[in-house]
Structure 1
Amino acid sequence: MPIPALALAVAALAAAAPAVPPLPAGEVPPALRLPAGVRPVRGEVSLTLDPAAERYRGRVRYPVVLDAPARVVWLHAEGLEIEEARVGGRPARAVLADGGLLGLVPDAPQPPGEATVEIAFAGAVDRVRSRGLYAVPEAGRWYAYTFFEPADARRAFPCFDEPGFKIPWRLSLTVKPGDRALANTPAAREAPDGGGTRVEFAETRPLPSYLVAFVVGPFDLVDGGAGGAARVPVRFVVPRGRGGETRYAASVTARMLDLIEAETGVPYPYEKCDVAVVPRFWGTMEHPGIVALGQPLTLIPPAEETRERRLRYATIAMHELVHHWFGDLVTMAWWDDTWLNESLTSFLDSVVVDALEPAWRRTARRRAEGRASALEADVLAAAKRLREPVGSRDEIEGAFDNAITYDKGAAVAAMYERFLGREAWRAVLRDHLLAHAHRTATTEDFLATLASRSSPAVAASLRGFLERPGVPLVRAAVRCDGRGAAAVVRQERFLASGARDPAATWSIPLCVRAGAGARVETACGLVGGDGPEGEVALPFCPEWLWPNAGGTGYHLTALDPAALPGLWPHLAPAERLALATDASLLARRGDLPPEAALGLVAPLAGSEDGLQVEASLELARLAQPEWLDAADHARWRAFVRETWGPRARAIGWMPRRGEPDEATALRRLLLPRVAGEGEDPALAGEAARLARRWLADRRSVPAEAAWPALEVAARTGDAALFDRILAAARGARDRTDRARLLAILGRFERPALVDRALALVASGAEDLRDTAAILRVALAGRETRWRAWELLRTRWEAIAPRLRSDEGSWLVEQAAGLACDPGRAGEVAAFLRPRAEAFDGAPRALARALEDAGACRAARARNGPAVARFLAR
């Protein structure tokens, strides 16, 4: 790896000072991780901060232990001005290196043992990207927030910015009159200081730098009760005057702590639970003691308190609160073990949401959707491992891969829960938490706990799913002979391209369900590992077999189209959802006739189970309607109307008092699909009327109907409707309303209106954090995607510099999907490849997206005639 070039060294008045001497001879900046040998014991951070000011100043102090003499003490700082530095009480020269590295060079080598690192510095408050220490205005007042994950604490203050440095922190903030300051721990002391107030906070439990958090501004505080066995106080920290919008959040959050404690068997580990309501969804974060949750989640005006908004708050808030156990209490030692934080949290959060509100069926939905998302990503040759080595900042960003780290990790955890049993798996999680409380942990630590609670073979099995990319395809047959009955299993890696990887095998914790007559039983066993074949013993010779009991197995099942009609009635609802996902992936690759997979849409769509109806919508995407020619697309619209229209019309746009939860959920899914994509004239016409009525008087249409109606109306809307929605967005006092209304502008399909909407993205007159959704929506639209692509191609230099790395990576990945068009695939790839390099995590995301686009092109060519025949029936 090349040595990073030294950046300008920083000192006060650096521009006027002579060039700072280089590092001592033989010293070079670290490539990524800080060198071993200097360990911080505690962090002390003192800042003077006015959110309305562009700059701030501060001091940090770190007692450290040195294992050996050091000519340079390395830590992190990025975009900061170092005014003064001392190591061991002596002046030290500051040298900034690329990658956010800060080297402190004392005038003589620092001897081993205890020492103190002290730095005075100044920094700029971010006002563009919402990272590090950032500030946002609301109603003429400024509020400051922090967001440090994964490596942006260094933008706020010099620190040892790696998760393995888990230390106590002492924080003090000096703020102007009228501003409040809150942080991870309660205030221990407040005193006047230079016309303002100095707030000193109690020392934290050990935390990595990315979990340190604070907010400053004229906030209101809303009481949320108390939760957990210790009756920890819950408060909401909101912009002035908006406390009334926390009604739902304040009614459920304290109870969430009770439910998580009950599920983990471990008490809430911190002394308070403030909820800092940050301006946008971005910034939502599990800071212990002051969890950050976005306004779009948390602030719900009474008229907007729909099922969708309640579910969204509960789902995300629960995820961040579960992180207080998995991530905060026990933290991964390095980013290669991000799965320990995100996978285990993603597994558990839906379970606790079910305890909060069973009618939502969150676990069943999350497991089906998450498994499908993971499999779609994991069938690519470019798929990353669940435990992926991390050796660059690009790979740190890539560690937070939604489909793999979150969805695959949760799906794999669910598979082992099914195999071991609920209580046994919960015991593993509880032992892991208790053994490493307030410390860091590694994969090896978790596997040792698993082995002690189950067996070394089970731990070795999980290691295979962590360290090997991809997904197994399982072929199962029944053997009944003198040795007894068994499910004989053969596995291979399933690759979307059709390529083979014979060396890839897994030890699969396989649970099969088998039946004969009225007798149905489940049997489990570890299969494979030493080779592609294995067996699961059965208690009797069955008439039918399904090798994914409960639908939680993280594998694909080979399907025989002739056997599907006989198998279908025996499957439980969750197993049908798994089969639908498998059928789609198999048909895309050519392992199953498309007609056989699409033939499952009707029984799913006709089910009384809302989750199966949802699955029918996803399975139907196998037809690739966004790429059909005009004639077949007309047939597709008719198929949508015929398949889901009767139920959509029966549900109707307007909610009914006392209707079941499932009807409410299906309204949001089916009505926009049938009225918009299916172009049902009656439903689309009613959507347009509701949209106009709502724009005239928001009290006249329930939010549950208004927002999807606006989305549908925009598709065929004229300039007058466009202008009314734009005016409503610009006049919105609520940032969430504004963002949602702007995103709807991306749904207009008339060319002139598409161009007007896209112009808002690139003009710079609007905040890109609000208008980027217009571009994302337009890129996804059949009629708008190429106009959106043209804007992206011609105005890239105006858009890209305003994006964070995660935003740039998402945009590159989405745009790469346009390479499914064989006539423009080369153009799309050639444009995106060099530009992806500007964003951490984007090059690998682009490689996966382009491979997926190649599979899309192959599926279009292979399945197009069969899809046309199916739609013509």
Structure 2
Amino acid sequence: MLNTHQSVGTVLLMISTVSLAQDNAALHRLAPVAKPLSQTVAFNLDPKKDVFSGSTVITLEVLNETSFIEVNGLDYNIETAKLNGKQFCNLESQMLKTGKVKLSCEHSFPKGRYTLTMDYTAPYNRKSVGLYKTIDNGVPYLFSQFQMSDARRAFPVFDEPEYKIPFKITITAPEDQKVFTNTPLLKTTKSKGLVTHYFDKTLPLPSYSLAIAVGPFEVLKVPGMSVPGNLITPQNKSSLAAYSIENTPKILTALEKYFDIPYVYKKLDQVAVPEFPFGAMENAGLVTYREDILLIDPARSTQRVRIDHLNIITHELAHQWYGNLVTMKWWNDLWLNEAFATWIASKITHQLHPELESNLALLQHYAMDFDAQATTSPIQKPINTEADIMDGLWLAYSKGSAILYMVEQWLGEDVFKQGMRNYVRQYAHKNAEAKDLWSALSKVSNKEVAAVLNSFVSQASFPLLTVEQKGATLTISQQRFAIHGQTVPSQTWHIPIILRYGKGEQSATTSLLLDAQSKQVTLAFEPEWILPNANVTGYYRWQLSSENLIGLTQHATSKLNTREKLDVLDNVEALLDAGKIDTATLMTTLGHYTNDDHPEVAKTALTSLLSQYHLYKENIDQKRWAAFFATYIEPAFKHYGLTATKEEQPASSEIRAQLIEILAFETKHSEIITHAKKQALLYLSNADKVDPYLVESFLKIAAYYGSAELLKAYQQQFESTTNPSKRTHLLSAMGYFGEPALQQEMLKYALTKQVTASDLGYILAGNKQGKARKARYQKWFYNNFTSLKTKLPPFAVPRLPFYLFSRCDTSHLNQAKQFFEPMRSDIDGLEKSLQQLELATKTCVNKKQRELSSITAFLNQLS
């Protein structure tokens, strides 16, 4: 429906844009002339080789008379293609640039049921997508990663999520290889040193949920589950599987209880993958994980690592219901798959392990900084290409999860759970859309769920609530949160709000749905303090008057819980970005929390203070910063020291790591540097003797001030260790070598075969430490761009501009724009990345210009 104020020109532009979008979709979607009903695939796989062969038979229904069929395909070579049914045809194949293969017949054939038979060959991918080969400690393995749209690299397939069908897979491999896929093994046959593995037929699945693993694995049984299952690792790594084996049955049971539906697949195997571009993938019955996530030693791991381990396992197992059992119709609802799995993972992890305090990781805070940018897209948006999928995909996890949590708290946990159960039962083994879930939640709650959810998922950004108090009456208004200097359209939302307020010993809450520009609410009494986001249930920012903010700060220690204090800190920092307060106000507020009783709050306050230092350190003289360090950083270091105490909380250990890094890198603190060098050498000889919270800090500091001999020692252990966590620690540290010659040697090493495509980002990140090192890194980046582009997975290439530098230097921005200009139309998604980079850079530069006098005045008070 068109708004009546729109001009004819605007209407014509809209029609043109819609037509263009439809044409673009047609280029990438399969022609709707046929649909698959079932598919068998036979693979001939040998990890020692570089190519493989396969054959497939697709039972399909031709929907209308046609002379061609389209399937998806990339990289493989079709040797034969035949269509059998009402008519026979040898098909001519044409592989299109849009990831499709057009199979043409010399004559038309009528609608009806047919079998499409194809034989093909293909190379193993070496960029961690499709069916790919990796070498681990000299041993080759094969793994698959088919999401988003990379099953088409491994075999001819209808590679769209709506085509959800049963598959039957057969794999022939050398007899010294173990072979796994989604379903149990039915039988094997042997011939001439090869074993053919016949696997059971799958339940209906989208192609992206299929999986393959081939190699000389170590395999451990996982007892205590409702179905059989294994934990599968590369050689010499199964000793680190105990924590996963202990927790997986508990997680699966908790999910079965939540959904009130048993796990439906016939087995549950989990695979540790040494080269993997993502954290994990929820393939039905054969879940894959980056090995340093699945294989951990809890006694030698930080609390954050243990939380991530549990969260990610729960996330992937939740997808067995939401994603595999119920599947999206198209990629525009991928955000909801990931949002739901992230939300319930947080819920189950905290339920099973409350001692880890995983509920203090407030996902909305991770989302909002990015979501506030004018260039950010809604999490539910049209999808045509993989670049469209990857654009802000991570935002779907955090923003989507936060929105679902908000709605759950609004509806009530039991009501929300019943809606989810009804939805999964109704669409089991089918495809569904977001609106189907909204409908299920609305029916069970009798509330307008769609109005709330659509307002958050179909619009970018989020609301800023302004709360004005007159006695016991509050006026709450909404507007779009906007970063200062950025132009954004006006928007409104349907916002579930929970307020908490108090006076003396009294405390109360009130709830409302803000579905207009503003509303008034009368409280039970006139409060001394107001918290606009009780227990951080809402996905919004909030602004109080100066008087109310002071009142809240004065009562924070005794009246607010830890989650709420963390929200106050993050919210105040966001108000600075919006230009609603100045930097002096922010830093004064942060100073009230640096000695909070809960170290997570103290850590957050110190982190925010240090972020201001990093932003302005080159614009303000060192005398003023010396006062800053003397006021905040050195006293904190004196309090926490270099070594942990037995009873300290994990957040205290995290503060210590942050402090020793800032003091070592920025003030060249000799005691810390000497200690770090000794601890780094100790870690290389006996890793168990080094504090796991400080390992990476010690390794980075030692590298920054280290020698060629130390670099060689890091490389040798990186290449030989079988401990995934140690490998990641060394990988992260190697990017920090400070001497120019060693930095160049490390960057050269990053492009060798020892560093995989999924490892590369760890090394590149370290080169942003130090102005001179950053400049050398940028020069190397431009000189080696072709090699970087060749090495990285395709989905990572459009994001390459963000590997360059911190986004606060217009000269660097101009250099990047000039360099990437010729590639804008050749790399899908690059244009959007450059727009985001330009906006972020200009915003940062403007903020520094706007706030320099304010932070200078604040620092002057410390001198």
Q: Given the alignment of the two structures, is residue 550 of structure 1 paired with residue 535 of structure 2, yes or no?
A: yes
Counterpart selection for 2:176 from 172, 175, 178: 178
1:287 CA displacement: 0.7
Q: 1:618 to 1:323 in 2, by over 3 A?
A: farther
Preserved contact between residue 695 and residue 729 of structure 2 (Cα < 8 Å): no
- Give 1:371 deviation, angstroms: 1.2
Equivalent of 1:143, from 141, 144, 169? Answer: 141
Deviations 1:15-62 (A, max 9, x none): xxxxxxxxxxxx999401112241111121111111111111111111
The total of aligned residue pairs comes to 833
Alignment of 1:709-748 (within 5 A): 709-734=698-723, 737-748=726-737
| TM-superposed deviation, 1:645 | 4.2
Pick closer, same or farther for the CA change 1:617–1:34 going to 2, 3 Å: farther
CA 1:463 to 1:301, structure 2 compared with 1: closer, same or farther past 3 Å? closer
Q: How many angstroms apart in 2 are the aligned matches of 1:750 and 1:811? A: 25
Amino acid at match of 2:120: F
TM-score (norm 1): 0.90
Report the secondary structure of 1:44's partner residue.
Answer: strand
Give ranges in structure 1 of 5+ residues lacking alignment: 3-26
Q: Which residue identity lines up with residue 337 of structure 1 in the other structure?
A: D
Q: Residue in 1 aligned with 2:308? A: 312
Q: After superposition, give the CA deviation of every residue in 1:680-722 in whole Å (9 maximum; x if it has no partner).
A: 4433332222123333444543444433211233333344433
Q: Which amino acid aligns with 1:551?
A: V
Helix, strand or coil at the partner of 2:592 = helix
Deviations 1:572-592 (A, max 9, x none): 322222222221122123210
1:853 is aligned to: 841
How many Å separate the matches in 2 of 1:740 and 1:808? 25
Counterparts in 2 of 1:724 and 1:188: CA distance versus 1, 3 Å: closer
Asked if residue 258 in structure 1 is aligned to residue 258 in structure 2, the reply is no
Instruction: State the Cα deviation string for residues 74-122 of structure 1 (Å, max 9, x = none).
Output: 1101111111111235222212111110111123222112111111111
Q: Distance in 1 between matches of 2:274 and 2:583?
A: 45
Partners in 2 of 1:732 and 1:101 — Cα distance?
Answer: 41
Match of 1:23 in 2: none
SS of residue paired to 1:862: helix
Equivalent residue, structure 1, for 2:511? 524
Q: Is the 8 A contact 1:245 1:301 kept in 2?
A: yes
For 1:799 and 1:501, locate their aligned partners in 2 and report how far apart those are by CA, in whole Å: 35
1:151-550 to 2 correspondences below 5 Å: 151-227=149-225, 231-282=226-277, 284-300=280-296, 304-365=300-361, 367=362, 370-398=363-391, 401-402=393-394, 404-479=395-470, 486-499=473-486, 501=488, 503-529=490-516, 532-550=517-535
In 2 relative to 1, CA 673–254 (structure 1 residues): closer, same or farther, beyond 3 Å?
A: farther
Pairing of 1:837-852 with structure 2 (within 5 A): 839-852=827-840
The answer on whether the counterparts of 1:561 and 1:592 sit within 8 Å (CA) in structure 2 is no
Q: Secondary structure at the match of 2:567?
A: helix
Q: 2:63 aligns with which of 56, 61, 67?
A: 67
2:11 corresponds in structure 1 to none
Confirm whether residue 692 of structure 1 aligns to residue 691 of structure 2. Answer: no
Name the amino acid aligned to 1:235: N
TM-score by length of 2: 0.91
Aligned partner of residue 233 in structure 1, secondary structure: coil
Change (3 A) 1:373 1:826: same
Give me the whole-angstrom Cα distance separating, in 2, the residues matched to 1:187 and 1:590.
61
Alignment CA distance shift 1:281-1:613 (3 Å): farther
1:312 match: secondary structure? helix
Distance change in 2, residues 1:526/1:779 (3 Å)? same
CA contact (8 A) 1:805 1:842 kept: no
The answer to which of 420-429 and 152-161 deviates more is 420-429
| 629-638 vs 705-714, which moves further | 629-638
Q: Distance in 2 between matches of 1:632 and 1:259?
A: 56
In terms of mean alpha carbon deviation, does 347-356 or 555-564 score higher? 555-564
Deviates more, 1:218-227 or 1:207-216: 218-227
CA distance in 2 between counterparts of 1:644 and 1:259 reads 43
**Counterparts of 1:433 and 1:781 in 2: how far apart (Å)?**
51
Amino acid at match of 1:391: N
Offset, 1:622:
5.0
Relative to structure 1, the CA distance from residue 648 to residue 187 in structure 2 (aligned partners, 3 Å threshold; closer, same or farther) is farther
**SS, match of residue 563 in structure 1:** helix
Q: How far does the alpha carbon of each residue in 1:359-408 deviate from its partner, in whole angstroms, 9 at most, with x for none?
A: 2111221x2xx21221111211111102111123321332x621x21111
**Which consecutive aligned stretches of 4+ in structure 1 deviate over 6 angstroms post-superposition?**
none
- 440-449 vs 104-113, which moves further: 104-113
1:20 maps to what in 2? none
> Which of the numbers 588, 591, 610 marks the counterpart of 2:599?
610
Unaligned runs of 5+ in 2: 1-15, 18-22
Q: For residue 838 of structure 1, report the CA deviation from its aligned partner.
A: 5.3
Contact residue 833 and residue 846 of structure 1 kept, 8 A: no
Q: How does 1:700-715 map to 2 (within 5 A)?
A: 700-715=689-704
**Aligned with residue 865 of structure 1, among 832, 853, 859:** 853
SS of equivalent to 2:28: coil
Residues 587 and 663 of structure 1, relative CA distance in 2, 3 Å threshold: closer
Tell me what 1:799 maps to.
Answer: 788
Please give the secondary structure, in 1, of the residue aligned with 2:107.
coil
Residue 509 and residue 302 in structure 1: after superposition, are their counterparts in 2 closer, same or farther (change >3 A)? closer
Q: Which residue of 1 aligns with 2:5?
A: none
Compared CA separation, residues 112 and 411, structure 1 to 2 (3 A): same
1:105 aligned onto 2:104: yes
1:178 counterpart letter in structure 2: D
Residue 761 in 1 paired to residue 744 in 2? Answer: no
Asked if the contact 2:808/2:842 (under 8 Å) is kept, the reply is yes
**Post-superposition CA distance 1:577-628 (Å, at most 9, x none):** 2222221122123210211111122222211213212321342255151452
How far residue 659 of structure 1 moved from its aligned partner, in angstroms, is 4.6
Identity, in percent, stands at 26
Question: In the alignment, is the contact (CA less than 8 A) between 1:641 and 1:678 conserved in 2?
Answer: no
- CA gap of 1:503–1:866, structure 2 versus 1, over 3 A, is closer
| Cα-to-partner distance string for 1:665-692 (whole Å, 9 max, x where unaligned) | 5444444345445654433332222123
The change in CA–CA distance for 1:141 and 1:234 in structure 2 (over 3 A counts) is same
Mapped to 2, the partners of 1:637 and 1:312 lie a distance apart of: 37
